Amino acid sequence: MKSKINVGVIFGGRSVENEISVLTAIQAINAIDTEKYSVTPIYISKQGRWYTGKALTDSSNYRHMDSLLASCDEVYLRPTFGDNNLYKVNKPLISYFKQMFNISKDEIAATLDVILPALHGTNCEDGSFQGVIEMTGIPYAGCNVLASANGMDKITMKMILKESGIPVIDYTWFCDKEWYDNQTAVAEKVEAKLGYPVIVKPADSGSSVGITAVHNREELIEAVDNAASYSKRIIVEHLVSQLKEINCSVLGNYYDCEASVCEAPIRSSEILSYADKYLGGAAKGGAKGGTKQSQGMRSTLREIPAILPDEVTAFIRRTAVETFKALNCDGVSRIDFMIDEADGKIYVNEINTIPGSLSFYLWEASGVSFQQLVQRLIDIAFQRRRDSQGKVTSYKENIFNYTVSGAKGAKGAKGSKM
């Protein structure tokens, strides 16, 4: 009997979006077709340690992290190309006996055929994780290193989109050291280029963490100090006062992709906050009665499909695909737009290369079930692996068989005549 394809769902991470990642992962795991696939859940803790175990698939267990992780096996991947094994970390007593009896083989926790990342935020969604997996050669869903890095950094992303003729809002940027060294000059630069109101953001954070609407110099100073606690680069954008936010997801790869229906998330203030996204707009005191549990992006209050003129919907869906392609994306992403209702102009705000809840709610509204979405992501992962296998990664010639003029150590070496 042929064994099932094993999908490693990896989530958590050293990120302020760790908990949101857990919710995304559990939703994805529940959507995987267990007739075709087996699943290995892999949680990366806030301290950067990797664990696997069935208990990781129940969100209620995360209320007691110490007992949860104690019930799981700590694991690791080797950055060796062609090694698809997930290894258990040896405990001190096991390591002692292995040394005593000269046993070198590490115990395998699982063999991963494909990886489905459900990671959000820095150190996870920004190309860091993707680089680790590229070293192993294991097929993985979603964007590659370059697309992930460019998509995560709001400054770089806007530079690429602007160069590609895709509309982005006016912005300026600077680093934390510039701010601390010459706060007045940086503030004057912001005021001269953008005026007020503006919105201040960490360049590489997500889930609305560290984002503040600003209306004067005093608020600017406080907002930048806050953003700089999350990132070394800060972006400041013109704040659209008469704002309508629209989101659209794109599924496919860099050469063949399609857009979902559009949604209009409902916000409780000038910006779509963390609470709006994950707590359904719950107030500071939490949900009514204090019992509502977040379900990730499923908790967001939204109008779906968004009520828009047909030509606006068509423009947003077309621009979402152009954004996806310009950033060389794969898998599923969500592109967030801003409509300035004062003049009708439409701008790309940002892209989420691993969107909360994998944007399944946008695809369900487009006629694609969550299970079908996950299947597509796995298929795209294997297709990218096949595509990459046809590319040249090294030359057959060994230059050390020849004398290279000027090369260190070449003096006195005998090379072959050519």
Overall average pLDDT of the 309-319 stretch: 98
Count of Cβ atoms closer than 10 Å to residue 346 Cβ = 15
Query: What whole-number distance in Å separates Cα of residue 51 and Cα of residue 109?
Result: 10
Domains of the chain: 5-140 (3.40.50.20), 171-238 (3.30.1490.20), 242-266+301-389 (3.30.470.20)
pLDDT at 318 over 80: yes
pLDDT at 416 over 80: no
Query: What whole-number distance in Å separates Cα of residue 311 and Cα of residue 69?
Result: 51
Q: What distance, in Å, lies between the first and last C-alpha atoms of the chain?
A: 56
Query: What whole-number distance in Å separates Cα of residue 407 and Cα of residue 119?
Result: 44
pLDDT at 6 over 80: yes
List % helix, strand, coil for the chain (3-state, nearest 5). Answer: 35, 25, 40
Overall average pLDDT of the 73-78 stretch: 96
Please report the pLDDT score of residue 90 as a whole number.
83
User: What pTM, to 2 d.p., does this model score?
Assistant: 0.86
Q: Is-contact 247 232, C-beta < 8 A?
A: no
pLDDT at 278 over 70: no
> Residue 285 — pLDDT band, cuts 50, 70, 90?
very low
| pLDDT-wise least confident of 51-60, 368-377, 404-413 | 404-413
Query: What whole-number distance in Å separates Cα of residue 211 and Cα of residue 291?
Result: 27
For residues 285 and 188, the model is more confident at 188
Q: What is the pLDDT of residues 199-239, one digit of tens each?
A: 999 998 765 788 999 999 999 999 999 999 999 999 999 99
Query: What whole-number distance in Å separates Cα of residue 241 and Cα of residue 53?
Result: 47
Q: What is the pLDDT of residues 36-59, one digit of tens each?
A: 999 999 999 999 999 999 999 999
Average per-residue pLDDT for the chain: 88
Please report the pLDDT score of residue 290 as a whole number.
39
Q: Return the sign of the alpha-carbon dihedral for residues 105, 109, 113, 116.
A: negative
Name the residue type at position 324. F
Please report the pLDDT score of residue 275 as a whole number.
54
Please report the pLDDT score of residue 391 as a whole number.
84
Please report the pLDDT score of residue 311 as a whole number.
98
Overall average pLDDT of the 311-329 stretch: 98
Overall average pLDDT of the 183-205 stretch: 95
The tokens for 150 are 């460019």
